[in-house]
Amino acid sequence: MEIISQLFSALPGSVSQGLIWGIMAIGVYITYRILDVSDLTVDGSFATGGAVAVMLILNGSDLWLAMLLAFLAGMLTGAITGGLHIFMGIPPILAGILTQLSLYSINLKIMDKANQSVNVNQTDLLISLRWVKEFALHNPLITVGIILVLLIAVLYWFFGTEMGCSIRATGANVQMSRAQGINTNFNKVLGIMISNGLVAFSGAFLAQYQGFADVKMGQGAIVIGLAAVIIGEALFGKIFKNFALRLLSVVLGSVIYYIVIQAVITMGLDANMLKLLSAVIVAVFLAIPYWKKQYAQRHMFRKGKGGAENA
């Protein structure tokens, strides 16, 4: 009983984190699902977003301006990964890893040290975990919730425009896209930029939520993003066909991921084992379509053999 009440009281916090990471997961969805590129820049650009926002806020910047600049900084990191891929011929996965590694140094330079805190008692913040149970606009559930609705609306509109459609086509079939006059290189870079902009935006929210930015705050972010995408698709893929609903399912996937994590911690799992657990969950979910295919193949083979015996 105690576990349940503990879990219940932790719920607003888990959902808040899930929503914040949901923005990041939408970024991962854009590269992983729409562009069909595995972009590992995100581990670095997530922290870049946090670092940029925290330093600007500490220097007295307007809060929304800080968020905007964090978004633009994230887009810049995406431009670098895209550039490494397009102009230097480096495969996307490696290009992302190179950017991610270099961002570690850059994030340290932005913050001057590995960790910078913004104290909610001394500075005004958009959201903070201290306010998760308050009924006010600065409650992370409300602020991030509204931002997510706006974001999904904007992305739904954008991917329905001529430009957005051509980005989707680039991810779906490069050869066909070029034959239809689409600048596939430009589109890949643009897609990776938008994705990392969202990731950094999410990092900027998380830094305020937890009250600090840390150079390691993005470590393993790609796995959390993938987990959210995959859980969302597994649970809602059959009912959510519309593009906006698909983005929503990614956010829900992220929220569910954080509720599950909270549950296993409450039940006494060693917090140090969390990353291992996340990796195992993602690996299994990624394997399921492959296993399904193999199973179907073997099933067919058996049926075929049976048929031959009868004949």
Partner 1 sequence: MLEIKNVRKTFNPGTINEKKALNGIDLRLEEGDFVTVIGGNGAGKSTMLNMIAGVYPVDCGSICIDGEDITHLSEYKRAKYLGRVFQDPMTGTAADMQIEENLALAARRGKRRTLRKGITAKERKEYRELLKLLDLGLEDRMTAKVGLLSGGQRQALTLLMATLKKPRLLLLDEHTAALDPKTAKKVLDITEEIVEKNQLITLMITHNMMDAIRVGNRLIMMHEGQIVVDVRGEEKKKLTIEQLLQMFEASSGSHFASDKAILSK
* Strand, helix or coil for residue 117: strand
Instruction: Give me the residues that bind partner 1 (CB under 8 A), please.
Output: 158, 160-166, 168-169, 172-173, 175-184
Closer residue to partner 1 (CB): 100 or 184: 184
Closer residue to partner 1 (CB): 175 or 310: 175
Q: Least distance to partner 1 from the beta carbon of 246, Å?
A: 12
Close Cβ partners of 201 (under 8 Å, ≥ 6 residues apart):
23, 49, 67, 70, 71, 74
Q: Give Cα separations from 243 to 33, 144, 157, 250 (angstroms).
A: 12, 20, 10, 11
Encoded tokens for 190: 């643009």
**251, 141 Cβ separation under 8 angstroms:** no
Closer residue to partner 1 (CB): 179 or 308: 179
Closer residue to partner 1 (CB): 143 or 170: 170
Q: Least distance to partner 1 from the beta carbon of 164, Å?
A: 7
Q: Least distance to partner 1 from the beta carbon of 232, Å?
A: 17
**115, 214 Cβ separation under 8 angstroms:** yes
Q: Give Cα separations from 118 to 29, 53, 210, 262, 280 (angstroms).
A: 30, 10, 9, 25, 34
Q: Least distance to partner 1 from the beta carbon of 171, Å?
A: 8
Closer residue to partner 1 (CB): 168 or 198: 168
In angstroms, the CA 208 to CA 204 distance is: 7
Q: Least distance to partner 1 from the beta carbon of 188, Å?
A: 12
